[in-house]
A and B are shown apart, each in its own frame.
Chain A
Amino acid sequence: MATRVMTEPAFFILTALVDTPRHGYGIVGEVAELSEGRVRLKVGTLYGVLDRLVTDGLVELDREEVAQGRLRRYYRLTEAGGRALAAEAERQAANVRVASERLRTWRPALGGGVA
């Protein structure tokens, strides 16, 4: 994961698992909440990302339960997943800081460019 850019769905899925293990639909709902409805995961998208996160060791199976006759798998964040998420959050935060600082001094240009 270190050499791969973390996608937005992956970022939100990891974030959704920070506080508690969740099952697939729980992740979908939590991601929608966290992103204020901006990221709505389809099932195919969720499991594509989840498969990769599991493969990379960032997420692992927590437990299985049967609810309403259906098997539910709960997934949890691993230590590596927590570190990857923290690193990505730091990276994004640094980007935000840089942009915010620039924007504070920004005045719409009337013409010309940087001397």
Chain B
Amino acid sequence: MNVLEQRYRRVLRVLPDSYRQAWEEDMVATFLASMDTDDVEDAEFLADYGRPSWSEVASVARLAVRLRIGGTGVPPLSVGLGEAVRAVRLVALAVLLLSAVWATWGVWRNPWLANEIPWLPVPDEVPAFSMGFWEMAWNVVGLLWVAAFLALVFGRWWAARLFAVLAFLPGVGFAVRDTLAGNPVFARWSDVLVTALLLFTLAAFHRDIPPVRPRPWLIAFAVGVALTPAAELVILTLPMDSRWLLGWPGLNCVLILAAALVYLGGQALGRSLAPSWEGPKAMDDSDATSDRPHTLSAVTLRRCLGTRRIARRVAAVDAYEFPLQRASATSPLASPTHRGAHSPPARPPRPAAHTPSTDSPRRAFPARRCGATTPEVALLAG
């Protein structure tokens, strides 16, 4: 392998593994052929010092972007965009869930810690603070997050947006007030920014998407409302110097990790504990209606792990191992099973009759071909 080939293979590393597995050798051969020259000295120089041109590198980079974002066999960007929008909706639901849980607990928590609830003593470790009328009002208005969350879960997109905006406005007001008063405002404006982003994500919900399945989200809300006070009490009982160990950020990380483990465990056991959103449903629908000849291993793995990517990889491996099974298909390379996996071209189903090859495109080409086959092409090509 000469230096030029090494360099080109290095460029090809930006492509997805499965794609490279299928096409790398062919691409390298074509590239090296394009660099061939009749001059021996030039050929040696290129082999030792040559490198792919920027335009070649750019074409590979464009291909990599398209493969990673849009997949193949589909209109550009559609797969990636669809996945991204679904992810945005999931994030929006999750953030609204957290906001609703926190708002529900906050209605009690803040007055309690401000010593506004006479029959509930405040722990000694909590620094004293007071809540004015507007803070108390804001605290109650926070319950609008619960309304927004419930509206979203039950498919009332516009109501959800309205409640979210109403819940958002007091935060802006307080941020402006503190800014004008010269108080520290970093945390205030950070909250405003994050909440504004959440509002934008709500635009990803529209009438054409499948409804959210409420049950898992309502269960999560109930569990959150029950566990949050417990977690807060645990934190308050810790000595001040060890709270960093289990502050709210740390606790959130632990909860996310636990949720991920529960999710993966549930998937592995074949019981879907995942929150319902349209991604998995759309995936199942497409499978049900398509004529994809799933291989057994791909289907089994997908059922067990629920992961499309792994199943595609297995399908790609199957394509390598069982080319004869697919040989009877109209086009052995056209199986939609391999659209995402960039499976390698299968060997032809029958030994092809020898046809004259076109080893050198530089040769003179006779005026022929298109006219003999399709007059329309001849018209255009001529």
Contact = CB atoms under 8 A, between A and B. Distances in A.
Interface residues of B, number: 61
B373 A18 contact: yes
B289 interface: no
A20 B365 CA distance: 13
A6 interface: no
B242 interface: no
B63 A90 contact: no
Contact of B361 (A29, A70, A72, A96): A29
A33 B345 contact: no
A30 B63 contact: no
Contact of A65 (B28, B357, B376): B357
B365 A60 contact: no
Contacts of B26: 24, 47, 71-73
A99 B308 CA distance: 47
Given A51-B19, A89-B374, A90-B376, A28 B361 contact: yes
A91 B79 CA distance: 28
Nearest to B60: A44
Given A15-B377, A46-B30, A57-B334, A20 B342 contact: no
B61 A78 contact: no
Interface in B18-57: 19, 22-23, 25-34, 55-56
Interface in A74-100: 74-76, 78, 80, 82, 85-86, 89-90, 92-93, 96
A60 B332 contact: yes
A82 B75 CA distance: 21
A30 B361 CA distance: 6
Contacts of B285: none
Interface in A23-62: 23-26, 28-30, 32-34, 42-48, 51-52, 54-57, 59-62
Interface of A: 4, 15, 18-26, 28-30, 32-34, 42-48, 51-52, 54-57, 59-65, 67, 70-76, 78, 80, 82, 85-86, 89-90, 92-93, 96
